[in-house]
A and B are shown apart, each in its own frame.
Chain A
Amino acid sequence: MTILSTDELDLLFSPAFTLSEELKVQYFNPALSTLLQLPPRKIKEQKVKELFPLDERFWNDLKERTQEQGSAISEEIDFSIGSENYTFVFRLKKVDSLILCVSNDLSVEKSLHGKYREQLELLKKSHQQVVQADKVRALGELTAGISHEINNPLTVASGNNELLGFALETEDLNEQREILTQCHGNIDEALTRIQTIIAGMKGFLHQDSQGEDKKEYIELKSVIDNSLKLTQGTLDSASIKSVVNIPEGGHVVLGNQTRLEQIVINLIQNATDSMRDAGVLNPTLKIDLKRNPEKHQISLNISDNGPGVSTEVKDQIFENFFTTKEMGKGTGLGLSLCQKIAEDHQGSLRLIDKEGGAHFELCLPIIEVSSFASNDEIFSKLNDIHGKKILVVDNDVTILNLCQKFMESTSFIFIGSTGGEEALEVLNKYDVDAVITDLNMPGIDGSTFVKHLRQSYGPVPVFYLSDTSGMDQYKKDKEALNLSGMLVKPFKSSELVSLLEEAFKG
Chain B
Amino acid sequence: MANKILLIDDDPKICDLVGAFLKLGTKGIELITACDTSQGLFKLENDEFDLIIVDKNLPTRSGLDLIEQLRKSFKYNRIKIILLSGSLTSADVSFSVQNKVSDIIVKPFKYVQFMEKLKKHLDT
A-to-B contact residues, CB < 8 Å: 147-148, 151-160, 162-163, 166, 186, 189-190, 236-239, 241, 281-282
Contacts and interface: CB of A to CB of B under 8 A. Distances in A.
Nearest to B87: A147
Interface stretch (B10-18, B26-34, B41-49): B10-18
Interface stretch (B73-81, B90-98, B102-110, B116-124): B102-110
B91 to A, nearest CB: 12
B60 A190 contact: no
A239 B62 contact: yes
A159 B23 CA distance: 13
A186 B60 contact: no
A340 B59 CA distance: 34
B87 A159 contact: no
Contact of B60 (A155, A189, A241): A241
Given A152-B107, A158-B108, A159-B111, A236 B59 contact: yes
Given A186-B13, A236-B57, A237-B57, A159 B108 contact: yes
B106 to A, nearest CB: 9
A239 B109 contact: no
A241 B16 CA distance: 24
A148 B110 contact: no
Contact of B17 (A155, A241, A282): A155
Nearest to A153: B13
Nearest to B12: A156
B59 A159 contact: no
A155 B14 contact: yes
B86 A163 contact: no
A310 B78 CA distance: 43
Interface residues of B, number: 21
Contacts of B17: 155-156, 159-160, 163, 186
Contacts of B62: 238-239
Given A152-B86, A186-B13, A239-B61, 12 more contacts: A147-B86, A155-B14, A156-B14, A156-B17, A162-B111, A163-B111, A166-B24, A238-B62, A239-B59, A241-B59, A241-B60, A281-B61
A162 B110 contact: yes
Interface in B63-84: none
B86 A148 contact: yes
Given A186-B16, A239-B62, A159 B57 contact: no
Contacts of A160: 17, 20
B58 interface: yes
A190 B13 contact: yes
A171 to B, nearest CB: 16
B110 A151 contact: no
B58 to A, nearest CB: 6
Given A160-B17, A190-B13, A239 B60 contact: yes
Contact of A163 (B13, B20, B87, B107): B20
Q: Which of B21, B59, B108 has the most CB of A within 10 A?
A: B108
A151 B86 contact: yes
Contacts of A156: 11, 13-14, 17
A36 to B, nearest CB: 79
24 contacts: A147-B87, A148-B57, A148-B86, A152-B86, A153-B13, A155-B107, A155-B109, A156-B11, A157-B108, A158-B108, A159-B20, A159-B21, A159-B109, A160-B20, A162-B111, A163-B24, A163-B111, A186-B13, A238-B62, A239-B59, A239-B60, A239-B62, A241-B60, A281-B61
A459 B19 CA distance: 71
A163 B22 CA distance: 11
Contacts of A190: 13
Contacts of B14: 152, 155-156
Contacts of A166: 24, 111
Nearest to A241: B60
A151 B13 CA distance: 12
Contacts of B109: 155, 158-159
